[in-house]
Structure 1
């Protein structure tokens, strides 16, 4: 523990002690800083893709500059932290609760960015929307998962197409399920 505080560990290190059958993981200060930076960058990318999906599903052709006009980014990050923690806890508990949290949180970023909701309100709205439309949302997300698996098979290059298509598809589903206007 002292190494974590003093910064003695500069890299990720794990060990398994066969005498006690326990595993330990330590992460140095540099690793923690890089993890936080990576998380924030990941949140930016998710927000950009979500905004693009919202714009496309509204019939607006977004420009490159539109992707960088993110309102409510603090709530996007807070929602990502909350959903990430709940999903992680659920995965540790028995895998299925983590999958359920991820499924029911599918529209969280869309609510934060489209309706300027706070993180907790967006999570609650997403859970309510998915609960009312469970079969449709589950079918869509399974289909998109399979599409992204197919995109990953080609050395990951197909993901450059399938991931944006997934965000647009979820954007259309969000608009349709919330009763928003969807262009023909």
Structure 2
């Protein structure tokens, strides 16, 4: 059973207030994600520079260039995975907040993340695979999977359900519950608003719009009965 605040009527004002209480946590998540991504990019570039110097500063053959690119991507892979893992906290922190009724501090957020990292990596891999398959099939199924994301992350972080069961239950909750489609409509509208804010602020608005929308959507999910 989630906190009583989770079932209260949602509003942007409430989401903003909850976001303000979590600013230090959200800020550190942004910084950590950016730093990890930057480290991966540096590794990628270092591998390319070493290959260029090894070639005597001359143009590399197609085979060597292809091998260098593959090695660069391989070296960048651990950082990409870690960045994605930390990035999921943007949705997980709001989920944990409404599940417990507590303000999720920096230490609590990262303790929750690294308590079961393999579970979250597996959950992310499964969700990414389902989304990609859906997009390849006909785009719309991929969008349908993506819209399940907030509910799925909530179940993965706040329950002990196996990740495959959590994904199936999330689909049931979103597309079979009485107000599931209403929830989907609110998700789409919220996403459009976040996109507009991000666009008109040259990306800076996303620093606020994304986490505020995450708190808002989690509250909507509980209030509409998609989460319980």
**Is the pair's TM-score, using the shorter chain for normalization, greater than 0.5?**
yes
1:61 counterpart = 2:115: no
1:175 counterpart = 2:203: no
1:134-145 alignment to 2 at 5 Å? 134-145=180-191
Q: Counterpart of 2:111 in 1: which secondary structure?
A: coil
Cα RMSD (Å)? 2.5
Aligned length: 160
In 1, Cα distance between the equivalents of 2:149 and 2:137? Answer: 18
CA change 1:103–1:174 in 2 (3 A) is: same
In 2, Cα distance between the equivalents of 1:169 and 1:53? Answer: 9
In 1, Cα distance between the equivalents of 2:145 and 2:92? Answer: 22
Q: Counterpart of 1:69 in 2: which secondary structure?
A: helix
Q: Aligned residue for 2:13?
A: none
TM-score by length of 2: 0.62
1:34 Cα deviation after fit: 1.3
In 1, Cα distance between the equivalents of 2:227 and 2:76? Answer: 41
Residues 118-140 of structure 1: CA distance to partner in whole angstroms, max 9, x if unpaired?
Answer: 21121011111102133122112
Residue from 63, 82, 103 that aligns with 1:40: 82
Residue from 48, 52, 71 that aligns with 1:29: 71
1:29 Cα deviation after fit: 2.7
In 2, Cα distance between the equivalents of 1:179 and 1:90? Answer: 24
CA change 1:61–1:106 in 2 (3 A) is: closer
CA change 1:179–1:99 in 2 (3 A) is: closer
CA change 1:38–1:173 in 2 (3 A) is: same
Q: Aligned residue for 2:164?
A: 120
In 2, Cα distance between the equivalents of 1:179 and 1:37? Answer: 32
In 1, Cα distance between the equivalents of 2:172 and 2:86? Answer: 25
1:104 counterpart = 2:162: no
1:103 Cα deviation after fit: 1.9
Q: Give the number of the structure whose alpha-carbon radius of gyration is greater.
A: 2
Structure 1 alignment gaps of length 5 or more: 1-5, 12-27
Residue from 83, 90, 96 that aligns with 1:49: 90
Q: Aligned residue for 1:92?
A: 136
The structure with more strand, counted as a fraction of residues:
1
